[in-house]
Structures are given as C-alpha cells and as structure tokens.
Amino acid sequence: MTAIAISLSGDLLSMLKSFEKQEQPVNQLALSYLQLDRFLKKDCDRVYVDLKNSDEDKVRIVKEAKGKVDKNYLLTTANHRNELVLSGGTGKGNMRLLRIWSASFEAQDGLVKISITEPNKNYSKLYLKLDKAPKDDEQVKSKEETKD
C-alpha cells in the first residue's frame, strides 16, 4: 500500500512540474479589450460614439476633455482586415489591438459591439460601454470651435 501511495505521489509531482513548464497563452482578446477601454477613458470627461460617421466597417469615437472635443478616433480593421486597430483622427499612427480573421461593428448610443472571428476561427463579441452622445449637435460644434 505504501509503495502505491509513493508511486502515485511521484506521478502527481512529475505531472505538476510538466504543467508548470508549459507556457499558458495570454488571452489576447481580453488584453486588447482592456487596453482599448483604458486608453479611451483615460484623462477625459466623456467618450461617446459618433453615430453619423459609424457603420459596420468602422466606428468613430469622440473623446472630450474639459468640455471640449479633444480627439476623434476610428476603430476599424487594417491590413486587409487582419488587424483590429484604433487610429487617431489625424491619420497619424495606429494602435494595433488584435490580430483577427475578420470583424464587424455595430454602434449604438453608449455602446459599441464588435463581432470578431479570430485567426483560429473562434467567434467572439466585445461590448465596449461608452457615454451617451450629447443631445444637441450644436453643442458639439461650439465645443470644437472653442478648441481652435
């Protein structure tokens, strides 16, 4: 009986050692979501979706700081739809978020739904909760004019 217990504990120990040596892949989807969410909500008063300039291929996101429109960002795919990226409104630079197979977007007031097919053909959905857009378009225009 003692020999069986020692044998089982030895097998268990070797199995645990081999498990520790295996690299556990980082969940890139979750990491990309956190990176995007933190970047958009950092140093701002309000972040909302520009519904007029968003469609199933892209979502325009407006970031306000101190009551003025600070930045416009475009959430879209790049490199023949193989990457999910966030680009600045000036077109300079991209934040590569995730390697994907394909993606489509659905924008609502206060919510962005991203449907992603990953390279391994897994299907995922990301929901990015944002602030509601200002009710009055003139209010946004006056904020943009005061910024210049």
Per residue in 50-103, pLDDT (tens digit) is 999 899 999 999 988 877 777 888 998 887 768 888 888 655 677 888 888 889
| Residue 65: per-residue pLDDT | 83
pTM of the model: 0.69
Q: Which of 115, 116, 130, 126 is nearest to 50 (CA)?
A: 130
Who's near 51: CB < 8 A, 6+ residues apart?
Answer: 107, 108, 109, 133
pLDDT at residue 26, rounded to an integer = 60
Is the pLDDT at 23 greater than 80, yes or no? no
At 81 the pLDDT is: 67
